[in-house]
Amino acid sequence: MEKSQIQSLAEVAELKIESGRKFFSATPEEIISGATSDIYFVRTHEILRQLDLVDTPVTAEAFCRRDGIFAGIKEVMDLLADKDIELWALPEGSPMQARDIVLRITGPYGEFGIFETPMLGFLASSSGWATAAREVKEAAAGKPVLCFGARHIHPAVAPAMERAAIIGGCDGASCILGAKLACHEPQGTIPHAMILIIGDTVRAAQAYNELMPPDAPRTVLVDTFKDEAEEALRVAEALGKDLAGVRLDTPGERGGVTPELVKEIRARLDQKGFNHVKIFVSGGLNPERVRILSEAGADAFGVGSYISGARPIDMTLDLKEINGQPLTKRGRIPGKTPNQRLVKMK
C-alpha cells in the first residue's frame, strides 16, 4: 500500500488485500495511510471536503478514563509528523488521573481527524501496559523487574508493549526489538528447552558459562529435573562465583513458586556460602505475588501476562474549539481545558 493518506470512500473501495499477504497486522504504511481508522472518519473527511470545510481550524483534546501512567505519545508524534498542527501532551511516563487532559491538538481538522482511531489506540494500549508495569515495580519495592510478556501477545505489538513496560518502570525486557526500541539490551536467562535437550541442569549451566559472553548474567533455571533447593545447590557448587542467580519458574501444576520455597533456597544457599547468588522468580506473577515473594527474599522478578494482558486505558478525543471559538458536544465543557503539565511536542 502507498503511504498517501486515504481521502475518500472511493479509495477505500479500491483498497485490495494482496494475495499472499504475510500476517494480519497493519504495516506502518497502512497506519499512516489511514487504513486502520474507523470508516466514519473517512466519510466525515469526504463530506467536509465537498462542503469546503475540511480545513476548519479546531482544537481537540483527549482525556483518560482512569488513573495510570501515560505512554504512546511518541507513536502519535510519528503518525502526525508531517501534519500542519500544534501538538501538546504529557511526557511519556507521567502519572495521570481519570479525566486528565493528556493530549491537545490545534490545527485544520483535515490534517488529523482521520487519525483519531490509531492515535487513541497508541495511547490506550501503551498507557495500559505502562501502568501495569508500574504496579509491578512498586510491588517489588525497588528490586529489578523484567518484562517477559512477548510470548503472551501478538508479535506485531510485542515490541510496543515491552517498550511501554520499560517506560512504566520495568528494568528491562526479553523481546529483542522491544528492548532495543527502549534503548536497552534484551535480557533473559535459560529456557527449559535447553536444559531438557542437554539432559542435566548442571551441564546446561556449565555450557552457558563457557559459551556465552562474559556480560551475560549466569542466571540458571533450577526447576526442570529435581527439587529446586537441591538443584540450586548443585548449580552453585558447579559455577561458584560465576553464578549470578537461580531462577524459580515452578509451574502451577506443582504449586508454583511459594514464599516457603524462596525462604528455603535462600537459607540453603547462605548456609553453603553462596550469599552472592540471587533468587529470580517468574511464572504467573502479579503485584500481590511479587510483594509476597519479595518479602520472602526473592531478589528479582520476570513478569509476563500481567503486563502484556493489561486492560487498555480508554482515551476519549473531543473537539473543544471551532474557528477559535469554544464549542463542544453536550456533557463536555467548551474551550481548552487548563493543564500546565502539557508540553509542546510539535
Would you say the pTM of this structure is higher than 0.85? yes
Mean pLDDT, range 15-31, rounded to an integer? 90
Do both 143 and 165 map to the same domain?
Answer: yes
308: phi then psi, degrees, rounded to nearest 5: -65, -30
Do both 138 and 241 map to the same domain?
Answer: yes
Do both 84 and 160 map to the same domain?
Answer: no
Residue 318 lies in a domain: yes
Looking at the predicted structure, is the pLDDT value of residue 108 above 60? Answer: yes
Do both 144 and 85 map to the same domain?
Answer: no
**pLDDT confidence tier of residue 3, bands split at 50, 70 and 90:** low
Do both 27 and 170 map to the same domain?
Answer: no
Which of 11 and 267 is assigned the larger pLDDT?
Answer: 267
Residue 65 lies in a domain: yes
Residue 73 lies in a domain: yes
Do both 103 and 57 map to the same domain?
Answer: yes
145-186 pLDDT, tens digit per residue, is 999 999 999 999 999 999 999 999 999 999 999 999 999 999
Residue 202 lies in a domain: yes
Do both 172 and 282 map to the same domain?
Answer: yes
Least confident of 90-104, 150-164, 250-264: 250-264
Do both 235 and 141 map to the same domain?
Answer: yes
Residues in the chain: 346
Average pLDDT, the chain: 95
Looking at the predicted structure, is the pLDDT value of residue 340 above 50? Answer: yes
Do both 223 and 203 map to the same domain?
Answer: yes
DSSP annotation string for 94-112: -EE-TT-EEEEEEEEHHHH
Q: What is the pLDDT of residue 214?
A: 92
Residue 268 lies in a domain: yes
Distances (CA, A) of 226 to 200, 259, 296, 299: 10, 19, 22, 22
Q: 253: burial class by Cβ within 10 Å (0-12, 13-18, 19+)?
A: exposed
Rounded CA-CA distance 221/248 in Å is: 6
191-205 pLDDT, tens digit per residue, is 999 999 999 999 999
Taking the CA atoms of the chain, what radius of gyration do you get in angstroms? 25
Percent of the chain with pLDDT over 90: 89
Looking at the predicted structure, is the pLDDT value of residue 1 above 80? Answer: no
- CA angle (193, 244, 229) in 5-degree steps: 65
Do both 169 and 237 map to the same domain?
Answer: yes
C-alpha cell read off for 127: 498507557
Residue 13 lies in a domain: yes
Q: What is the pLDDT of residue 217?
A: 92
202-251 pLDDT, tens digit per residue, is 999 999 999 999 999 999 999 999 999 999 999 999 999 999 999 999 98
> Which domain range does residue 19 map to?
9-127+311-344
- 173: number of Cβ within 10 Å: 33
Residue 2 lies in a domain: no
Q: What is the pLDDT of residue 251?
A: 85
Residue 3 lies in a domain: no
Looking at the predicted structure, is the pLDDT value of residue 2 above 50? Answer: no
DSSP annotation string for 141-178: TTS-EEE--GGGS-TTTHHHHHHHHHHHT-SEESSHHH
Rounded CA-CA distance 103/37 in Å is: 19
Query: Residue 258 is part of a domain; what is its CATH number?
Result: 3.20.20.70
Mean pLDDT, range 5-30, rounded to an integer? 89
Do both 214 and 254 map to the same domain?
Answer: yes
Rounded CA-CA distance 345/263 in Å is: 49
Query: Residue 123 is part of a domain; what is its CATH number?
Result: 3.90.1170.20
Percent of the chain with pLDDT over 70: 99
Rounded CA-CA distance 257/328 in Å is: 53
**pLDDT confidence tier of residue 8, bands split at 50, 70 and 90:** confident
Q: What is the pLDDT of residue 253?
A: 86
- 254: number of Cβ within 10 Å: 9
Do both 228 and 150 map to the same domain?
Answer: yes
The total domain count for the chain is 2
Q: What is the pLDDT of residue 256?
A: 87
